[in-house]
Structure 1
């Protein structure tokens, strides 16, 4: 196959709001404290934050001193002398313990706050929030008493909204125990966001022993996959205690009241509950009834009454008595839409650079892949060996240097026989003879052709170090960012990138939780077999607050497993035109409990040659197309709900 640079056709998202030609910032009436900078109400006489008194002339003492007048020391007069005071009140008490002081301080803050009209947790958050998110938090707390279905369209920050609500309840002392249930693929992502953005450390619960230890804890932050938590050995322990706050992500998975998942979540004893989904309706309105019942039992009446009063017999997606249903839903559900909120979403451009490996690189890829397939099927290959072989197969699409690093360890491992180690040694010598791979040359071409800063993602640290070293030799300023850096080193690296370094090369683990929106060009140097990680890479740049269109360059070597992956991502899933958050909704429609990565790994492992792999990849592509069509149908169903919510009267 010939090399070519291909720009992908990306349709404008249907939910993209119209852009305003000009936008004047809203005028905020108030006064700013000269001492701490707090923006207060115009009528305030004292700063809410630091106590600074606005109605005093704080320069008066200096003006008097300038006249040569010395003021006497400040005198506090009281009708009761000190002797009588101590006789009445006793001796002066020692300072209160720190915990008592903190408790009194919190009580004073709560006394000063005006219900939930003013959120007191915002200064403690490390997140760029938007007005629709703050309004959602206030409404969920003030009007819905902390029990709400957060049903914003994808990309509007339901996780941020849930985090703000959680933090506000914690800050006010109303929540000590929090349980978060998510899909298995999102547990680590949730843990990361709750830690980095809300400074709440959650424990991912994988074993019943952890739940046993949590039973008597007075406070705790626990996170688990719903599929694992509903299993009997976990659920029996989870259901033995109360929780102050329950958060359920991808709540549409609870659409059926007859499922084990719905029954389990419905039994959890919780004071506050937040359920998150961008698609509250998958098929019909009865699914919405199931979700609301967990939040507020009886809100929509009995099943029979709900069917008779609100469902059309011919089409259960369309309601009758819409005004009544809308009023009931507004008591428990908040749904922001991209066309309604006043934020700007960046557009995307995406390209694939189809590359042809050099002769040596192709020989290394073909021979090593043949070896991996043979060894993978050997009767003596154990789980550890297969994991190593799978890593080696992925590294073949990354860099010769990453391949060489793994091969060196395999050659030194005496568990491999002499014949196997001889083959591995030949591959190692071949990998070491390739100083600069075709992908690295392609990066130089892109940097020379397109101005501006670039964020480059790779899966492997050895590849990262190779890219940084070579780019510097070519005269490009470059830094590397990975999980092995200390906190100070990470901050310094991001600061250097922000201040003008041309390229930052990063691993997935390195860039977690980082705001890199000052950059708007990304290169996927190698492609993970898990498309969720590709979306997470894009999400570092393509998110609310990005002021430029985001360009994504994908490097793909012809006739490799990577070429199949990019075909699935770009043609079947159409990943690069999705809104952040839609991918998981599509992958959730795949048949069975296996992830996309599992299906991809099985397709590769069960193929004896490239022709068979191609057939299996086509079958996987067909399944992905069906999953995308299912998602489109679900989105249409929710558009019917949106029309009902928008209709007045």
Structure 2
């Protein structure tokens, strides 16, 4: 569908202007100067106080276009800083600047040194099931085509964010599109920003109408609701200059519904949402409006807590999106081996999710039913209920359409049970509808026939109960009203008769009922609210925060007024589906604050996408008739992160038919919970009523309450819950066993602790960079600090990044992880201040790094060279449905090579470079190797290019080759089964044509099937051909150098004294003996080969790993000195001391050359000796300081406690 020509600029959202300014790295003052306006004007635009005029919108568009051109580089952001024209290699670059450049690249590619680096730089501590999903399943799959189906509240947003962050780090993706329901867009943006510092932009329909929001600055990471995307907005993705999205995420993926009728297997019914998803996977039917998308996403992630809704066909169709060729038909899916499904699928129930100690992750739930009696008397609530019920039975039983009658009864029953105010508002709306019909009939504007025709149209349009067919996340329109309100308003217009007299009589009845409802309201005494007040004011939980759910906005407004009337003004937050998501966020934040609202009154629009695990108390003022909504409500507080027992209060009117039926249901659920000794029943309430309607039970209760109760007892049975569990186990397989993996997970986390780069690496980088850029660090860099310029303009490159934070946070920087941004700015890779600092270092000293510098290695005997480079592996597109190959990045990798004087090259990593230090005493001309730098660089370049292709690219090629035979078989089988279905359909049509003697009637259908068969054969041949040559399209891009270093041996006495191999080995034996004498298990990791065997990097920063008898751990760095000279701690040792804290020990053996060496032991040397020191590549510490910091078991030299004879130590190495 064509879209109107784009209008100048979509900068209607204040965040767009701020985002553009940040992209351009400009302060408000700098942007104001460039646009010739005042900084105050820029501030007003960004705060939404005013909007730019057309002339300024045009300027912003031009700036946006310039920024888009500048940001075209693919991969990690720092790749944009590589100098295209390297300077002459003369090794005269600034050593400190080159070291800082190396540190920047090291942190940018931290995942190469810690495989769970994204966990380090995120505000999360992944739980076992989350780690397993991300690091054992999703990241191992390339391309990622995955269905994550954990129970609600498991943290699927967190797992998605962690996966996205890891894939961005690796360069596997650059552009990500998240597609959730409309009510969840704000939650996605908030959590990705808060937890992962991923700045996703929310795309609105208004933006898409004005311009293309999927290209230009801020478009790489985007969130758009599925309803917005399914409309005209999709056409923007189809425009020729819109870059493809690498990863597309569909939340609530079960809403992508499609099903196949066995009688017509070739004509499945597909919802508009499903067809939209087909467009992204490249398998949309040619006739579909979504087939216009010229690209298919390489990576696809589907998220849902209910992948199987009781029917096999929709479940298969979800799998088909993952791989349309392999899962082409239901039979192909059924034949796919269950053990292989875990490559694409993972589901864990709440019962299977545990913490690292194996304890259940979710606390228990306690559901209590609080019954109340309606007030009696001729003007009481009971009389109003009875008379309204009688009116409903009399008025709607005369309807000729039973379905329409039940819908209308359902609306009134719900609102009657909700509150007198909701009932009154419904009566008023119906009176208005009937009066309008009377007016139209009396004036001749409508004839009775016209009115009957209108009623038929209404019944055709509303055949299903909105509350049953839609879940809570679909209630939110953000446009001032809830979607269910439109349904209720329409249903209230249903009429039974077209007689003016009868309509007027009904108006009189309704008016009398409304007057009585108003009288009850005016009395200020409603039994239901009084029961709620008693519950809230119970002394056992009177100080707790409560979320109070109702189905109706009218009742929500009533509750807010009543609660405020009790003295809680300013303590009541509210959420409804008519709120735009920013307003919802404000209300949630008011409720979250300790000094904020005590109560959150909400409609079911808050039942999805709003995480309230800080609250443990919930009241259901209305019990929803759609059990799935009850599930969703509980999921707001009973979810990952909830640390307390959850209390749920259900209010039920025991003197009404509906209330007594609901009481039976709630009591039955509690009985099942006790019998099964599990909360599982609360998680499958929706499944229990899949093939039955609770609304029908309620309507039935109006006529026969006992029959309704009996029916409910049959539906809500223990056997039903058990059957659902058994069906899930059979459908999903055993993919969710978290407990059996705990030992392995704990072991991996132990190892990863020694691979962490933060906070030490960032602390060092910030201090080095600040000094180089003339920036002063004020405060304590180990705690909270701020940055200030030492010269005019020094801080300017960082100001736009700082401006993204509240003013109160900009002077509260920290290299330690903070819980929230409100507590200060946590400086780390991926965070704006850090990224601005790294970019400025690369900009200022990148040329120095390519020019080369000279550094000293105390361990070296001869000079050598170190080269650092960036390699990329790419492929010509291997999406399951990609017909036309397109270049796609598979991986970015930071490489380093050590090159000897004879040109021999050996692959290494960048970390050894960080252990080296500069020396002013060495001039380039004094090192013969320097004169051969250009030639050696060329040789290193050839080695790196060969290494990138023969090792990195070959890994990817081999992976495809190994999978090729099985993948060919499965793809061929998928197409063959598709052809078999078409052949059978063709036979059936021919048979029907013969039997019915209607050959001509079926001729067109038979011909269409023949064409479909030919199309499938063509696709089969093409897909198999692409598979065979897929590995041939993988190769390494040209390697780009980042830095060159000429490394020379130590030339000064101080440098030489740093390392004496024989003394160090003796000291290691002394430390090992001391540990073993105390029953500790000791592992030597002091040599690169020993460290690698332990799963550590070559230079882990300590020499020994000790496991204590009580299960404790020690990482022990050992230093030996012949006498009592000072020791030197190197950078990697300093880093581990900083990161490991009390687990890190420094063992110093003095007087190693004497008959009685002395052992000094220091726990947490970073805190005691290193924290206040200026970062360098080495840290010198005197014997006096060591003795002062030693543990209390250290004694003066000569005592038995610390004395070791050489004979004693000699036995250590032999294992005696």
Coarse TM-score class (shorter-chain normalised): 0.5 to 0.7
Q: 1:123 to 1:566 in 2, by over 3 A?
A: farther
Deviation of 1:481 (Å): 0.4
Q: 1:457 to 1:385 in 2, by over 3 A?
A: same
Moved more, 362-371 or 448-457: 448-457
- The partner residue of 1:472 within 545, 549, 564 is 564
Contact 1:245-1:270 within 8 A present in 2 as well: no
Matched, 1:391 2:407: no
Matched, 1:338 2:353: yes
Contact 1:358-1:438 within 8 A present in 2 as well: yes
Contact 1:254-1:291 within 8 A present in 2 as well: no
Q: Distance in 2 between matches of 1:528 and 1:418?
A: 33
Matched, 1:140 2:137: yes
- The partner residue of 1:373 within 359, 369, 393 is 393
- SS class of match (2:374): coil
Q: How does 1:471-550 map to 2 (within 5 A)?
A: 471-477=563-569, 478-483=571-576, 484-485=578-579, 490-497=584-591, 498=593, 499-510=595-606, 512-550=608-646
Q: Distance in 1 between matches of 2:331 and 2:157?
A: 20
Contact 2:384-2:517 within 8 A present in 1 as well: yes
Deviation of 1:121 (Å): 9.7
- The partner residue of 1:165 within 160, 163, 166 is 163
Q: Distance in 1 between matches of 2:186 and 2:148?
A: 21
- The partner residue of 1:426 within 478, 492, 512 is 512
- SS class of match (2:639): coil
- SS class of match (2:417): coil
Q: 1:365 to 1:383 in 2, by over 3 A?
A: same
- SS class of match (1:396): helix
Deviation of 1:363 (Å): 1.2
Q: Distance in 2 between matches of 1:109 and 1:121?
A: 20
Aligned to 1:452: 543
Q: How does 1:175-186 map to 2 (within 5 A)?
A: none
* Residues 399-457 of structure 1: per-residue CA shift (max 9 Å, x gap): 11111111112222223711111110111011011132101111221233232222222
Q: Distance in 2 between matches of 1:515 and 1:268?
A: 29
Q: 1:426 to 1:273 in 2, by over 3 A?
A: farther
- SS class of match (1:375): helix
* Residues 118-172 of structure 1: per-residue CA shift (max 9 Å, x gap): 56599799x8854642452133343233245646577533464245435755785
* Residues 329-374 of structure 1: per-residue CA shift (max 9 Å, x gap): 7766666632464574222222111111112111111211222233
Deviation of 1:250 (Å): 5.8
Matched, 1:562 2:584: no
Q: 1:622 to 1:162 in 2, by over 3 A?
A: farther
Moved more, 528-537 or 149-158: 149-158
Contact 2:550-2:604 within 8 A present in 1 as well: yes
Moved more, 419-428 or 440-449: 440-449
- SS class of match (1:346): coil
Where do 5+ consecutive residues of structure 2 fail to align?
Answer: 1-24, 26-62, 80-104, 193-199, 201-221, 261-267, 285-290, 439-502, 744-1216
Matched, 1:156 2:171: no
Q: Larger relative contact order (C-alpha < 8 A, sep ≥ 6)?
A: 1
Q: How does 1:98-247 map to 2 (within 5 A)?
A: 98-104=67-73, 106-109=75-78, 112-113=108-109, 114=111, 117-118=115-116, 130=127, 132-145=129-142, 146-148=144-146, 150=148, 156-158=154-156, 160-162=158-160, 164-165=162-163, 169=167, 172=171, 174=173, 194=188, 197-198=191-192, 199=200, 201-204=223-226, 216=238, 219=244, 225-228=255-258, 231-232=268-269, 238=278, 239-240=283-284, 242-247=296-301
Deviation of 1:492 (Å): 4.8
Q: Distance in 1 between matches of 2:663 and 2:121?
A: 42
- SS class of match (1:253): coil
Q: 1:348 to 1:383 in 2, by over 3 A?
A: closer
Q: 1:117 to 1:195 in 2, by over 3 A?
A: same
Q: Distance in 2 between matches of 1:107 and 1:150?
A: 26
Q: Distance in 2 between matches of 1:432 and 1:465?
A: 15
- SS class of match (1:529): coil
Aligned to 2:308: 253
Q: Distance in 2 between matches of 1:448 and 1:209?
A: 48
Deviation of 1:472 (Å): 3.0
User: Structure 1-normalised TM-score?
Assistant: 0.63
Q: Distance in 2 between matches of 1:227 and 1:95?
A: 38
Deviation of 1:262 (Å): 6.1
Q: 1:155 to 1:634 in 2, by over 3 A?
A: farther
User: Structure 2-normalised TM-score?
Assistant: 0.36
- The partner residue of 1:358 within 354, 367, 375 is 375
Contact 1:178-1:246 within 8 A present in 2 as well: no
Contact 2:367-2:670 within 8 A present in 1 as well: no
* Residues 8-56 of structure 1: per-residue CA shift (max 9 Å, x gap): xxxxxxxxxxxxxxxxxxxxxxxxxxxxxxxxxxxxxxxxxx9xxxxxx
Q: Distance in 1 between matches of 2:722 and 2:270?
A: 36
- SS class of match (2:637): coil
Contact 1:354-1:557 within 8 A present in 2 as well: yes
- SS class of match (1:547): coil
Q: Distance in 1 between matches of 2:191 and 2:121?
A: 11
Q: Distance in 2 between matches of 1:402 and 1:627?
A: 35
Aligned to 1:349: 366
* Residues 502-560 of structure 1: per-residue CA shift (max 9 Å, x gap): 33322222565333333222211111111222222222222222222221111100133
* Residues 252-310 of structure 1: per-residue CA shift (max 9 Å, x gap): 63999xx6546645554759999xxxxxxxxxxxx9995793xxxxxx5xxxxx9xxxx
Q: Distance in 2 between matches of 1:509 and 1:481?
A: 11
Contact 1:456-1:506 within 8 A present in 2 as well: yes
Q: Distance in 2 between matches of 1:339 and 1:624?
A: 28
Q: How does 1:62-81 map to 2 (within 5 A)?
A: none
Larger radius of gyration: 2
Aligned to 1:61: none
Q: Distance in 2 between matches of 1:162 and 1:580?
A: 27
Contact 1:522-1:551 within 8 A present in 2 as well: yes
Contact 1:395-1:402 within 8 A present in 2 as well: yes
How big is the alpha-carbon RMSD for the aligned residues of Structure 1 and Structure 2? 4.9
- The partner residue of 2:427 within 407, 421, 424 is 407
Deviation of 1:205 (Å): 6.1
- SS class of match (1:420): helix
- SS class of match (2:430): helix
Q: Distance in 1 between matches of 2:189 and 2:678?
A: 24
Aligned to 2:723: 630
**How many pairs align?**
499
Aligned to 2:782: none
Aligned to 1:58: none
